[in-house]
């Protein structure tokens, strides 16, 4: 899962990015509106965390322009909790909002929810054969036993599970699992796939030669 | 009774009482006038008749009244007590009947009346007038037959010496007394021979007429009263309707909806003026409330970001074990957030104190030019950082004020001039004396402020840029500067040209 955070307060941006990376997300950041829109339009993020008050273009404007080309789920960070601000945000195309000051847990939960909704899922639990994925607790069970899994491996499983039945290209996986600062060597992805197969069964992730990976 | 305490009821009651008094006064007066007029006619006729009769009896009769001859020399024909001596007058002129035509212009025949011939009068006017003569013992000497029976039966009381004089009558100036008796009215006169002659008539037709008049007056009066009360009720209601509207609106406003206004239909009336005054008060209240609400909301908003920093920093730090450097970073971020909050709180408190008029200025005389130069020196590192050149041109001017607070104003203006300047820009600071005022101008060469934003520059939490440009900028600086300058009795103004620069002008009274 790759996420963009657009926030101008450096301390807030740093801690949000750190916390989300530790949650297993690939995180890009922007500290002003113009960069934020540029990133948001250029990359297929799984979600965007967008502050309303920004230098340059403000959050509303970014959202308005972004909605012309992309349906990326957007979580607004607003310092105003007046109804009219919330209504404005939702009407402009925001998927959800959190009011500052917020708890990190709430941001995580709302991010999970908008990502899940964008993948047309209604619950936190995805079951595929013997494998059960709890997207809230970020746990994976194989034959009802918890499986030790790294954050990156989890992200791979979750992304493929959310796009179940679709063939996901390596490029897409790179876009969604790694942020712009990571040097992504191509074999790194293969390592993660092979580790997951060891833990959840070889047939769990099918390889479509020349296309990518898929969970049936 | 609560209802009678309402203005409407009280007005109605007072109005009703006054209407009743006026109507009653009018009715009684009208009735009295009519009664007097009618009775005066009767009295005049009685008076005339008793005059005729008295004069007739007065003459020395061939046969005295009741057979008694009057004392010689007193009842001579043509005798006139207060008139000229008889010799000087032609005797014919002394006939009373000649001079007293009755209502129909008829004249009485001249006669000397024998007592029994009193019936002669009856023949003249058989239905209305009756005549009676009693002697001093109260015995009836003569009477016309049309005298009402009850007068006869009460004949014992007939003789009451006429000592109460309502008028005089006849040539002799005889005393006349007018009395009412049941439906009769009588005029009695006492002759010098002490016989009492009485002329009476029934006033039943007049009384009947008066009753009719009274009834008409009552009917008309009652109708006027009812119509008047109903009209008054309607009118009072109409006049008081704006009051109800005002109080209804006031109720809505006290219920919290400050956008309500009283509908001012008649702006010229007293109530219209009251409504207009109330409306302007409501408008000011609404503005003040809105400002207060906006201020509180803005203050909360400003606090949200640093609180968010602290919350996310600490929560992220506590999520797992970290090394010392990481914790240090977190603590430093929290410190920055706390400092930002402290600065904001100080600014808010300063503004609140200025608003409440509680800010105490440490007034003393000092050279303002020195403050200006000091402040310019203080901000020069920031200017260097932005490659902005500051030029100061200050003549020494002594002013009385709080040097610390005024330095805060100058620093704020300089910081803004540097921050909103273009790189390699210029800040020109000038202090001069003009018309007894110390005038400080701070001009920058930045991008300027749009005409739309210019009036809000001194507003609270206003930022030309829609976002904060750093922890140091709370959006309160110019609001505080304005409060400080105004507390010193000075003014602060701003002019701006887009893409050319902004100039702030502070005018302070010279010491």
CA distances from B496 to A65, B442, B453, B455, B461 (A): 32, 12, 10, 11, 19
Phi, psi for residue A131 in degrees, rounded to 5: -100, 135
Q: Which of B307, B329, B465 lies closest to A101 in CB terms?
A: B307
Is A15's CB within 8 Å of B313's CB? yes
Sorting pLDDT into bands at 50, 70 and 90, what band is B443? Answer: very high
Contact A196, A142 (CB under 8 A): no
Phi, psi for residue B239 in degrees, rounded to 5: -65, -30
Query: Given this model, what pLDDT does residue B69 score?
Result: 40
CA distances from B409 to A79, B2, B506 (A): 29, 61, 9
Q: Which residues pair with B390 in a beta bridge?
A: B427
Nearest by Cα to B411 from B477, B359, B461: B477
Tell me the shortest Cα–Cα distance from A35 to chain B, in angstroms: 15
| pLDDT above 60: residue B40 | yes
Mean pLDDT of A160-180: 84
User: Which of B312, B339, B341, B447 best tests the A interface by mutation, with the highest count of A CBs <10 A?
Assistant: B312
CA distances from B373 to B59, B379, B414, B429, B480 (A): 134, 10, 11, 9, 21
Q: What is the pLDDT of residues B460-498, one digit of tens each?
A: 777 665 444 444 566 788 888 998 998 888 999 999 888
Is A11's CB within 8 Å of B469's CB? no
**pTM score:** 0.55
Answer left, alpha or beta for residue A84, where phi above 0 means left and psi between -120 and 50 means alpha: alpha
Tell which wins on pLDDT, B110 or B165. B165
Contact B432, B442 (CB under 8 A): no
| pLDDT above 70: residue B70 | no
Tell which wins on pLDDT, B393 or B48. B393
Segment 87-106 of chain A within 8 Å of chain B by CB: 99-105
Which stretch of B33-37, B38-42, B101-105, B500-504 has the lowest confidence by average pLDDT? B101-105
Question: Using a CB-CB distance cutoff of 8 angstroms, which residues of chain B are in contact with residue A49?
Answer: none
Question: Using a CB-CB distance cutoff of 8 angstroms, which residues of chain A are in contact with residue B461?
Answer: none
Sorting pLDDT into bands at 50, 70 and 90, what band is B274? Answer: confident
Q: Which of A56, A99, A104 lies closest to B316 in CB terms?
A: A104
Is B309's CB within 8 Å of A103's CB? no
Q: What is the pLDDT of residues B202-228, one digit of tens each?
A: 888 888 888 999 999 999 999 999 999
Is A53's CB within 8 Å of B468's CB? yes
| pLDDT above 90: residue B439 | yes
Query: Given this model, what pLDDT does residue B464 score?
Result: 60
In whole angstroms, what separates CA B153 from the centre of its chain?
Answer: 67
Tell me the shortest Cα–Cα distance from B416 to chain A, in angstroms: 17
* Residue B316 contacts A where some CB pair is shorter than 8 Å: yes
Q: What is the pLDDT of residues B491-508, one digit of tens each?
A: 999 998 888 889 999 999
């Amino acid at each position: 899962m790759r996420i963009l955070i657009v926030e101008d307060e450096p301390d807030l941006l740093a801690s949000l990015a750190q916390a989300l990376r530790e949650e297993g997300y690939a995180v890009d950041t922007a500290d002003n509106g113009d960069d934020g829109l540029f990133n948001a339009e250029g990359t297929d993020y799984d979600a965007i965390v967008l502050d309303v008050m920004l230098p340059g273009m403000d959050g509303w404007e970014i959202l308005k322009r972004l909605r012309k080309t992309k349906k990326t789920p957007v979580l607004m960070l607003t310092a105003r909790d007046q109804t009219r601000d919330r209504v404005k945000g939702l009407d402009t195309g925001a998927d959800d909002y959190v009011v500052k000051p917020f708890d990190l847990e709430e941001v995580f939960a709302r991010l999970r929810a908008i990502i899940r909704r964008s993948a047309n899922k209604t619950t936190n639990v995805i079951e595929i054969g013997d494998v059960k994925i709890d997207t809230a607790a970020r746990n994976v069970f194989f034959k009802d036993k918890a499986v030790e899994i790294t954050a990156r491996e989890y992200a791979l499983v979750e992304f493929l599970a959310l796009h179940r039945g679709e063939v996901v290209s390596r490029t897409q996986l790179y876009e969604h699992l790694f942020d712009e600062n990571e040097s992504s060597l191509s074999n790194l992805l293969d390592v993660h796939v092979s580790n997951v197969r060891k833990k959840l069964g070889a047939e769990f992730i099918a390889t479509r030669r020349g296309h990518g990976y898929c969970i049936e | 009774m609560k209802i009678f305490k309402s203005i409407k009821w009280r007005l109605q009651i007072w109005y009703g009482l006054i209407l009743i008094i006026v109507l009653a006064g009018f009715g009684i007066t009208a009735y009295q006038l009519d009664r007097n007029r009618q009775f005066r006619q009767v009295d005049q006729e009685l008076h005339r008749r008793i005059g005729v009769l008295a004069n007739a009896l007065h003459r020395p009769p061939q046969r005295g009244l009741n057979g008694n001859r009057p004392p010689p020399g007193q009842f001579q024909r043509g005798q006139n007590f207060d008139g000229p001596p008889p010799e000087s007058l032609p005797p014919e002129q002394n006939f009373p009947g000649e001079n007293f035509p009755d209502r129909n212009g008829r004249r009485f025949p001249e006669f000397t009346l024998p007592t029994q011939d009193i019936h002669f009068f009856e023949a003249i006017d058989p239905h209305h007038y009756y005549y009676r003569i009693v002697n001093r013992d109260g015995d009836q000497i003569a009477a016309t037959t049309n005298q009402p029976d009850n007068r006869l039966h009460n004949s014992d009381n007939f003789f009451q010496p006429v000592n109460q004089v309502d008028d005089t009558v006849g040539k002799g100036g005889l005393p006349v007394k007018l009395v009412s008796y049941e439906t009769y009215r009588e005029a009695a006169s006492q002759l010098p021979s002490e016989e009492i002659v009485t002329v009476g008539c029934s006033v039943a037709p007049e009384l009947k007429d008066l009753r009719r008049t009274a009834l008409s007056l009552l009917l008309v009066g009652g109708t006027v009263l009812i119509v008047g009360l109903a009209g008054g009720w309607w009118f009072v209601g109409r006049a008081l309707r704006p009051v109800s509207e005002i109080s209804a609106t006031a109720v809505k406003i006290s219920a919290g909806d400050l956008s309500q206004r009283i509908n001012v239909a008649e702006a010229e009336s007293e109530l219209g003026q009251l409504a207009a005054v109330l409306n302007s008060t409501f408008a000011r209240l609404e503005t003040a409330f809105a400002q207060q609400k906006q201020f509180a909301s803005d203050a909360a908003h400003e606090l949200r970001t640093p609180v968010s920093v602290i919350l996310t920093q600490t929560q992220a730090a506590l999520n797992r074990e970290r090394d010392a450097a990481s914790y240090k970073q977190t603590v430093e971020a929290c410190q920055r957030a706390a400092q930002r909050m402290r600065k904001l709180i100080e600014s808010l408190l300063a503004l609140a104190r200025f608003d409440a008029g509680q800010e105490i200025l440490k007034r003393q005389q000092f050279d303002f030019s020195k403050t200006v130069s000091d402040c310019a020196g203080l901000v020069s590192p920031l200017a260097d950082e932005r490659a902005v050149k500051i030029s100061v041109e200050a003549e020494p001017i002594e002013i009385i004020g709080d040097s610390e607070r005024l330095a805060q104003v100058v620093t704020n203006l300089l910081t803004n001039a540097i921050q909103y300047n273009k790189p390699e820009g210029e800040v020109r600071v000038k202090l001069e004396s003009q018309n007894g005022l110390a005038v400080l101008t701070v001009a920058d060469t930045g991008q300027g402020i749009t005409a739309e934003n210019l009036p809000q520059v001194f507003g609270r939490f206003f930022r030309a840029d829609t976002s904060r440009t750093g922890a140091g900028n709370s959006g309160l600086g110019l609001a505080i500067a304005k409060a400080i300058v105004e507390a010193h009795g000075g003014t602060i103004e701003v002019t701006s040209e887009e893409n050319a620069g902004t100039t702030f002008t502070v005018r302070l009274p010279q010491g």
